[in-house]
C-alpha cells in the first residue's frame, strides 16, 4: 500500500505573550469599615504606589450599608457600569455574614449573587473580591443570646470566614482574608491594637493591615517595604506587612486566588493517512484554546482533565507551508504561540499501522464498536477523571446503554479517544 506520510518542518517561530495592563483598576463597595480612618481605598492606593504600581481606585461606602443595599443603589450600579474594572471589592455589613447559616443564606448570599451578576454583565474580565472582615474584639454582645458563636471573637471570626469563602466559591470570586490577618496579629502580637474604641471599627493599624492584605491579594506581591502612614510605627508596620503576606499566601487555594500564568505551546506530530496532521497541545493553565491552522480554518479546544488537553487533528487541503497559531485563554488573559510548518506528502511506501477507532461517535444508547484496541481491558471516564465503566471488550464492542449523555474519554492501555454519548 502506498503511504501518505506528513512531514512538518520548522522554518520559523514567533511568540506573543500576554498583553500587560499597566494600570490596575479597583472599585470598593462597602460601608464604614471601608471608609474609616481616611478610607481603606486611599491607604491601599498609597501602599500600591509606594511599591511601584499604577492604580485607579473608586469606592462607594455609605455607613451601615449591606450588599442588599448596594444591589439596588444607583451610585453603586453606575460605578460598576462605568468601566471594565480589574477588581470589584464587595464588603458586607460587619455582622450579617456571622449570623446562622440559614439566615446568611437568605439575607446575604442572594445579594452577593446579584452584584456579581451585575459585575459580570458589565465585564466578564472583572474579578469579584470578597472583603472578609474581622470579628468584633469581644464578640457580638447584642446577638450573643441568639447564636452562641457570636459570644466570642473567635466564634464570630470563624463564621465570617465560612461565609466569605462560600460567597467566593458560589460566585467565582476571590477572598481578601483581612479577618484572618487580624486573627494572626491578635495571636502573635496582641500589643498591636487593631480596633478603635468601639471594639468594632479598625484602628489605623487595622486599616493599614487591611490595605496590605489587599495589596498582597491583587498584586501577588509582598507589601514589605511599602508606604507607612504616620499613625503606624515602623515596627508595627513590619509585623502587619508580614502578617498580610503570610496569611494570603499560606492558603491561596482557600482564598481562591489564582496566581498561575497561562502558557500556550504545541508540537506537531506525524500521521500517515490523508494530509492529516496531529498536534499535541502543551498549553498550561488555560480554560480554552483557539487553533488557527493557517489554511483559513479555526477550531476551539477545551481541556479534558483539569488543564490537560487531548490531541488535535487537522486535515490540510494541499501540500504547502502553513503558519499555525495556538492561542491559550484564561479568563481574559491570553498568550499565543505560532510555528511555521511545511506540510508535504512523501512518496515513501510503508506498511500502514492499524488505527485505534470508535464508532459510531457520537453514539446513542447502543453498542459501541472498537477497532484495533491495544488491549481488551478498557475504561470510560468522565471529564473529571471519574471512571464510569471499566470492562473487557467482547467481540470488538461494549454496551454503553447505562451511561448518561455527555462527553467522555475512552481509554485502552496507552490509547485514548474522546467519545460523545447523545
Residues of the chain with pLDDT > 70: what percent? Answer: 89
Q: Is 120 helix (H, G, I), strand (E, B) or coil?
A: helix
How deeply is 42 buried, as exposed, middle or buried, from its count of CB atoms within 10 A (0-12, 13-18, 19+)? Answer: middle
Distance CA 339, CA 328 (A): 14
The answer to whether the bond into 337 is cis (omega within 30° of 0) is no
For residues 207 and 166, state if they share a domain: yes
- The band of 224, judged by pLDDT with boundaries at 50, 70 and 90, is very high
**What is the predicted pLDDT for the residue at 344?**
65
Rounded mean pLDDT, 216-226: 96
For residues 93 and 35, state if they share a domain: yes
Task: Domain of residue 335: give its range.
Answer: 6-18+262-345
Tell me whether residue 350 is in a domain.
Answer: no
Tell me whether residue 243 is in a domain.
Answer: yes
- Domain stops at, among 255, 290, 320: 255
**What is the predicted pLDDT for the residue at 18?**
33
Q: Over the stretch 328-369, which tens digit does the pLDDT of each residue have?
A: 988 778 899 999 887 765 433 343 456 677 778 778 767 788
How far is CA 341 from each of CA 3, 6, 141, rounded to the nearest angstrom?
Answer: 20, 11, 72
Pairing of strands 333-345, 6-16: antiparallel
For residues 313 and 298, state if they share a domain: yes
Please count the structural domains in the chain.
3
For residues 271 and 133, state if they share a domain: no
For residues 217 and 290, state if they share a domain: no
The number of beta carbons lying within 10 Å of the beta carbon of residue 358 is: 18
Tell me whether residue 140 is in a domain.
Answer: yes
Tell me whether residue 228 is in a domain.
Answer: yes
For residues 287 and 409, state if they share a domain: no
The H-or-E segment that residue 418 falls in is strand 415-421
For residues 216 and 362, state if they share a domain: no
CATH number at residue 194: 3.40.50.1110
Q: Is 329 helix (H, G, I), strand (E, B) or coil?
A: strand
Tell me whether residue 1 is in a domain.
Answer: no
CATH number at residue 363: 2.60.40.10
Asked whether 135 and 164 are in contact (CB, 8 A), the reply is: no
Asked whether 33 and 203 are in contact (CB, 8 A), the reply is: no
How many angstroms separate the most distant Cα atoms in the chain?
Answer: 89
- Domain stops at, among 284, 317, 345: 345
Tell me whether residue 165 is in a domain.
Answer: yes
Q: Over the stretch 296-330, which tens digit does the pLDDT of each residue have?
A: 998 999 887 767 788 888 888 887 888 999 999 88
Asked whether 407 and 346 are in contact (CB, 8 A), the reply is: no
Pairing of strands 174-176, 127-131: parallel
More confident residue, 282 or 221: 221
- The band of 383, judged by pLDDT with boundaries at 50, 70 and 90, is low
Amino acid at each position: 500500500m502506498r503511504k501518505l506520510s506528513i512531514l512538518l518542518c520548522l522554518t520559523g517561530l514567533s511568540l506573543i505573550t500576554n498583553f500587560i495592563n499597566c494600570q490596575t483598576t479597583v472599585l470598593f463597595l462597602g460601608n464604614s469599615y471601608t471608609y474609616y480612618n481616611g478610607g481603606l481605598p486611599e491607604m491601599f492606593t498609597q501602599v500600591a504606589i509606594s511599591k511601584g504600581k499604577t492604580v485607579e481606585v473608586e469606592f462607594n461606602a455609605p455607613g451601615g450599608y449591606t450588599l442588599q443595599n448596594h444591589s439596588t443603589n444607583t451610585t453603586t450600579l453606575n460605578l460598576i457600569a462605568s468601566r471594565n474594572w480589574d477588581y470589584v471589592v464587595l464588603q458586607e455589613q460587619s455582622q450579617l455574614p456571622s449570623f446562622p447559616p440559614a439566615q446568611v443564606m437568605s439575607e446575604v448570599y442572594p445579594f452577593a449573587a446579584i452584584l456579581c451578576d451585575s459585575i459580570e454583565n458589565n465585564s466578564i474580565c472583572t474579578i469579584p473580591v470578597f472583603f472578609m472582615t474581622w470579628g468584633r474584639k469581644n464578640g457580638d454582645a447584642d446577638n450573643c443570646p441568639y447564636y452562641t458563636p457570636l459570644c466570642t471573637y473567635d466564634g464570630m471570626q470563624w463564621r465570617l470566614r465560612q461565609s466569605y469563602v462560600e460567597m467566593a466559591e458560589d460566585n467565582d470570586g476571590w477572598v481578601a482574608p483581612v479577618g484572618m490577618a487580624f486573627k494572626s496579629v491578635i495571636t502573635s502580637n496582641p500589643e498591636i491594637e487593631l480596633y478603635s474604641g468601639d471594639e468594632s471599627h479598625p484602628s489605623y493599624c487595622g486599616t493599614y493591615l487591611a490595605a496590605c492584605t489587599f495589596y498582597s491579594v491583587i498584586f501577588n506581591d509582598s507589601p514589605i517595604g511599602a508606604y507607612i502612614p504616620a499613625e503606624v510605627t515602623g515596627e508595627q508596620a513590619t509585623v502587619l506587612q508580614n502578617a498580610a503576606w503570610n496569611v494570603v499566601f499560606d492558603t491561596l487555594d482557600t482564598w481562591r486566588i489564582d496566581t498561575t500564568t497561562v502558557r500556550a505551546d504545541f508540537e506537531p506530530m506525524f500521521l500517515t493517512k490523508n494530509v492529516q496532521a496531529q498536534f499535541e497541545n502543551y498549553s498550561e493553565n488555560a480554560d480554552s484554546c483557539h487553533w488557527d491552522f493557517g489554511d483559513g480554518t479555526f477550531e476551539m479546544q477545551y481541556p479534558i482533565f483539569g488543564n490537560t488537553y487531548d490531541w488535535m487533528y487537522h486535515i490540510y487541503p494541499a501540500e504547502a507551508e502553513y503558519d499555525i497559531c495556538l492561542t491559550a485563554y484564561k479568563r481574559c488573559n491570553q498568550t499565543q504561540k505560532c510555528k511555521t510548518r511545511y506540510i508535504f506528502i512523501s512518496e515513501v511506501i510503508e506498511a500502514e499501522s492499524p488505527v485505534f477507532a470508535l464508532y459510531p461517535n457520537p453514539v446513542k444508547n447502543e453498542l459501541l464498536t472498537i477497532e484495533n484496541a491495544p488491549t481488551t481491558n478498557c475504561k470510560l471516564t468522565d471529564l473529571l477523571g471519574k471512571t464510569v465503566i471499566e470492562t473487557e471488550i467482547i467481540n470488538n464492542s461494549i454496551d454503553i446503554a447505562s451511561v448518561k449523555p455527555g462527553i467522555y474519554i475512552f481509554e485502552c492501555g496507552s490509547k485514548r479517544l474522546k467519545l460523545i454519548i447523545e
